[in-house]
Amino acid sequence: MNLIIQGTEIENSDLRAVAKLAGASQIERITGEAFRMLDAEPHPEIESFCEETALDFAFVVPGKKLTDFGLVAMDMDSTLLAIESIDEIADLHGVKAEVAAITQSTMRGEINFAESLTRRAALLKDLPENALQSVYDERLRLSAGAEKMLQRMQSVGIKTMVLSGGFTFFTERIKKRLGLDYAFANTLDIQNGRLTGHVLGNIIGATGKGEILEQVRNELGLSKEQVIAIGDGANDLKMLGAAGVGIAFHAKPVLQARATYCLNHVGLDGVLNLFE
């Protein structure tokens, strides 16, 4: 196996220590923040050492190329974006603390997503529609490395998709801004320029994310092994389950436990370093 080590600041002494634990035969530099250790073997102390030194690690099969994939599916809030958009909307309505508490409980898997979104949307009742544009213009931030990752994937022909339990107001604008191929999310009900506190149609939650990913995957004629899914919370479990490679990005423990790889310290461009 190869062992990929990534971090924002990597000390040579830490690299050597990991290589010794893994019995690696050679260390190759990928970028200034990523290194590949050849002929590495798992060791029980690698995980704890990397946690202590703020390093991400991943054991990967040699020869696995980025061009082996045909689709990447990404969660939006706290994954593709460095914000929780619904929390920022709530802040403009004076209910951020209440909404954020529900958001975090949902991400930990403590509340059913449909119930969670229904409760959070109700708290936004009577908020002016233009508040959504204010959040997009003033508060929206992409996660570190997002554009670099997407540009590289798009350059090799990988289809890109955002699949969110959030709102179409944001996913449609992000789709256009980043040149994504697909965008799926929930639609807020707006009447007379104000939010009604309701969500239109069937709510896209954990199950919906998995089903939509499978549908798009099949339409593209791709196998499960040709799909990468990236998320951060319990709502992304079924989406990652519908992909050959599931990546937990700065994620809750419930998702990290089920993911193929975990990135806790580097940006989304760290995904690129997992493949040759």
pLDDT digits (tens, 9 = 90+) for 73-87: 999 999 999 999 999
d(CA 47, CA 274): 17
Catalytic residue among 14, 77, 87, 236: 77
In terms of domains, do 133 and 52 share one?
no
The predicted pLDDT at position 109 comes to 84
For residue 129, give the 3-state DSSP assignment.
coil
> Which structural domain range is residue 269 located in?
65-276
pLDDT digits (tens, 9 = 90+) for 101-157: 998 888 888 988 888 999 999 999 999 999 999 999 999 999 999 999 999 999 999
> Would you say residue 6 has pLDDT above 90?
yes
Which of 21, 41, 62 terminates a domain? The answer is 62
CATH code, domain carrying 126: 3.40.50.1000
Catalytic residue among 39, 56, 68, 75: 75
pLDDT digits (tens, 9 = 90+) for 165-175: 999 999 999 99
In terms of domains, do 200 and 77 share one?
yes
In terms of domains, do 137 and 241 share one?
yes
In terms of domains, do 201 and 251 share one?
yes
First to last CA, the chain: 13
Which of 33, 62, 91 terminates a domain? The answer is 62
236 is catalytic: no
CATH code, domain carrying 36: 3.30.70.260
In terms of domains, do 216 and 252 share one?
yes
181 is catalytic: no
Tokens of 262: 């975990």
In the chain, count of helices (H) and strands (E)? 11, 11
pLDDT digits (tens, 9 = 90+) for 45-95: 999 999 999 999 999 999 999 999 999 999 999 999 999 999 999 998 899
